[in-house]
Structure 1
Amino acid sequence: MAFNLINYITIYFNYIILISNNIKFKFLKMKLVIVHLLFLLKILLFSNNLYANYLDGFKEYEKKNYQLAFEHWQEGANQNDTLSQFYLGLLYKNGLGINQDYTKAFEFFEIVSDKGLIEGYYNLGLLYYNGLGTEKNYNKAFINFNIAKDKIVESYYYLGVMYSESRGVEIDYLKAESFFRLASENGIDLANCNLGYIYLEGLGVPQNYSEAYKYFLVGAKKNISDCQNGLGWLYENGIAVSKNQDEAIKWYKLAAEQNHKQAQFNLGLIFFKK
């Protein structure tokens, strides 16, 4: 906003120079231009003050002085600053510097999403999806994730889950695979597990054990327990790779250490059979 106002002010100054050559209309137009300049400068200063509240809050947030961050953002939010309102929502959602309050978090995210802030839509999606601060509503969660997807890549993952589990939309494994792939390509490691199971089971795509192995391996190396369990199962059963019980145990153990119940069961079964 400040940048645009500065441009407008520059245009007005150029206009002053141009009309200064016309004595007949000079004073009338100069008066009009000065009135506009004062108005724009007032807005510019007000805008900078709002932004200062946000910046001061963010500086304290980075230092983990959450209470001070809250105070700065509260002041900015009271002046209708969008970024301050958004970060207040985050503080309420995560219980930082203030008691956790999902209802207030929801209110702030709703305010900023109405202003078009994409991060607000994503967080509204999370709250609707999990029923936090509002009633669980997969339809509304889907709508908000869909709006946010092109900027907030985590939205791809949730859309994939919703299509694969028929949450808010009809089940569509092909669309699920597409969204999980986008999530994986954008660094959402958990999506690799979903892709692995889709290809392992042939859900909406031709069954492809090599692809399943590829995705499980990527996620397993990122310490995602579900992928480690899937990789262990492939090694235990000799699917897409040579059967290798030691490798199976290795990956099951890594998943079991993260309290993955199925991996713990699979590991126990191997030792029981020995």
Structure 2
Amino acid sequence: MMWVRIFELFAVAGFAGLSFLGVHIMQGGKKSAIIVAILASVSLLFINTVLEGETGKGIALTAYCEVRDCKTGRLAGSSASELSEFLDGFDEERWQNTNSTEILASALELYDKKTLIDLAKAGDSRAARLVGAAYSIGMHNFKKNSLLALQFNQICADEGSRSCMHNLAAEYYKRGSKNPSEYTKASYWYHKAARLGELNSHASLGSLYYYGRGVKQNYAEAKKYLKYATDNGAKAHAYLLGDIYEFARSYPFRKIELFDNQIDSPDPRFVDYPNAIKYYRIAAQQGDQSAQVRLGFIYEYRLKNKNEAIRYYTMSAKQGGVFAQEALQRMGITVETEVPEDIVFADD
């Protein structure tokens, strides 16, 4: 290891220098100091050679391996208490605002996987959060495992971690497609996390109320949760909020006659295009094709703004959106065709 050799050379030079300085100060003789410095250097090199011959490691590497595992670089003989102290070094703000994967990566650079799991099993909330996230996503040599993700997220959720409550709810939600009763559990934990201020849980609750998963379908409740989350910076499910405003879903529909049939239709008095556009745009900027298409449709047919319609249809078409591609073809534009230079897009 090149860095070890360099370090050893500096160590020898430093030791020699200190020996020279010490003798020179104590006895005042430069000649004696030089002799002592040479003897010290030779002795250190001899010891280094002997160590390398017996253990394969010189002085520097031997010292390094006393502190860290020579193969992995992790702290040697690290204990759960040391790992707990390391995790406590992250303040609460960082725990709330930093992705679990970043902290997990930092922990695994120094400590082994088994130590982390053992600490989590012992009830350490922060270790449990990291292990739960690792099993949920499947990363850093943790094989994706829904049951283990539930187990470890439950540990820290019971300790009051709102992030773990949200992660636990998300895990139940993923299982809901096969077992709808899991949506009820997801709703329970999303509600708990939201009451503690977890912004993403507000957005997720909005989605649950919109679709009626684990709760009774209620567009007014969906609007409340989605608006709070989106207005405070959450990006997820902004499309649903735009949809609620465009189709006035939080208000009673009216019956209209269509081909001798009575159908439900949004009450035009409550249709809110400005807010629909506002929240569709947030979703569109995240790459949501449904939002891009709805914006194109609103601008083309409702607001009669061809330029903006082309803008949003193009966003979707470039991602392979068939409806948007057909809409552009109807307007004489293909995805490969450059947008005409005389088209000026409105500011966001």
- Output the TM-score relative to the length of structure 1: 0.70
Q: Percent identity?
A: 23
Write the mapping of 1:197-216 to structure 2, written as runs, cut at 5 A: 197-205=243-251, 206-216=270-280
1:194 corresponds to? 240
Q: 2:164 — aligned with what? A: 120
The C-alpha deviation readout for 1:137-184, integer Å capped at 9, x for no partner, is 111111110000133211111111111111111111111111110110
* CA displacement 1:206-251 (0-9 Å, x = unmatched): 21122212222333344433322221111221x2x3331x432321
Q: Between 212-221 and 55-64, report the one with greater CA deviation.
A: 55-64
Contact 1:50 1:79 in 2 (8 A): no
1:236 and 1:120, CA in 2 relative to 1: closer, same or farther beyond 3 A? same
Q: In 2 relative to 1, CA 253–86 (structure 1 residues): closer, same or farther, beyond 3 Å? A: same
Contact kept? 1:60, 1:66, Cα under 8 Å: no
- Map 1:1-274; keep pairs closer than 5 Å: 49=82, 51-52=84-85, 54=87, 61-63=104-106, 68=111, 70-97=113-140, 98-131=142-175, 135-136=179-180, 137-149=182-194, 150-205=196-251, 206-237=270-301, 239=302, 241-244=303-306, 246-259=307-320, 263-272=321-330, 274=332
One-letter code aligned to 1:220: A
The residue identity in structure 2 corresponding to 1:157 is A
Aligned mates of 1:67, 1:250 — CA distance in 2:
49
2:136, 2:171 within 8 Å by CA — same for their partners in 1? Answer: no
Alpha-carbon distance in structure 2 between the residues aligned to 1:71 and 1:111: 17
Does the CA-based 8 Å contact 2:135-2:145 persist in structure 1? yes
Q: Is the 1:88–1:105 contact (alpha carbons within 8 Å) kept by the matching residues of 2?
A: yes
SS of the residue aligned with 1:99?
coil
Aligned-partner Cα distance in 1 for 2:112–2:250: 47
Return the offset for 1:85. Answer: 1.4
> What is the CA–CA distance in structure 1 between the aligned matches of 2:110 and 2:319, rounded to whole Å?
33
TM-score (norm 2): 0.56
> 1 CA distance for matches of 2:315 and 2:115?
44
Partner deviation per Cα, 1:24-56 (whole Å, 9 max, x = no partner): xxxxxxxxxxxxxxxxxxxxxx99646225369
Instruction: Say which one has the larger Rg.
Output: 2
Which amino acid is the alignment partner of residue 193 of structure 2? A
Asked whether the 8 Å contact 1:213–1:231 carries over to 2, the reply is yes
Q: Structure 1 residues 78-87 or 160-169, which shifts more?
A: 78-87
User: Quick check: 1:86–1:112 contact (8 Å CA) kept in 2?
Assistant: yes
CA–CA separation in structure 1 for the residues paired with 2:111 and 2:293:
44
CA distance in 2, matches of 1:64, 1:112: 17
Distance in 1 (alpha carbons) for counterparts of 2:216 and 2:191? 15
Q: Which amino acid aligns with 2:165?
A: Y
Partner SS for 2:309: helix
Alignment check: 8 A CA contact 2:120 2:128 kept: yes
Deviation at 1:270, TM superposition (A): 3.7
Unaligned runs of 5+ in 2: 1-78, 91-99, 252-269, 333-348
Relative to structure 1, is the Cα distance of residues 266 and 187 closer, same or farther in structure 2, using a 3 angstrom cutoff? same
Equivalent residues of 2:80, 2:116 under 8 A apart: no
- Structure possessing the higher relative contact order (Cα contacts under 8 Å, 6 or more residues apart): 1
Counterpart of 2:150, as a letter, is F
How far apart in 2 are the matches of 1:60 and 1:164? 34
In structure 2, the residue matched to 1:8 is none
SS of match in other structure, 2:160: coil
Separation in 1, partners of 2:103, 2:223: 41
Q: Give me the whole-angstrom Cα distance separating, in 2, the residues matched to 1:223 and 1:64.
A: 33
Instruction: Tell me how far apart the structure 2 counterparts of residues 69 and 52 of structure 1 sit (CA, whole Å).
Output: 15
- Would you identify which runs of 4 or more consecutive aligned residues in structure 1 move more than 6 Å? 56-60
Q: Secondary structure at the residue paired with 2:130?
A: helix
**2:80–2:118 CA contact under 8 A, matched in 1:** no
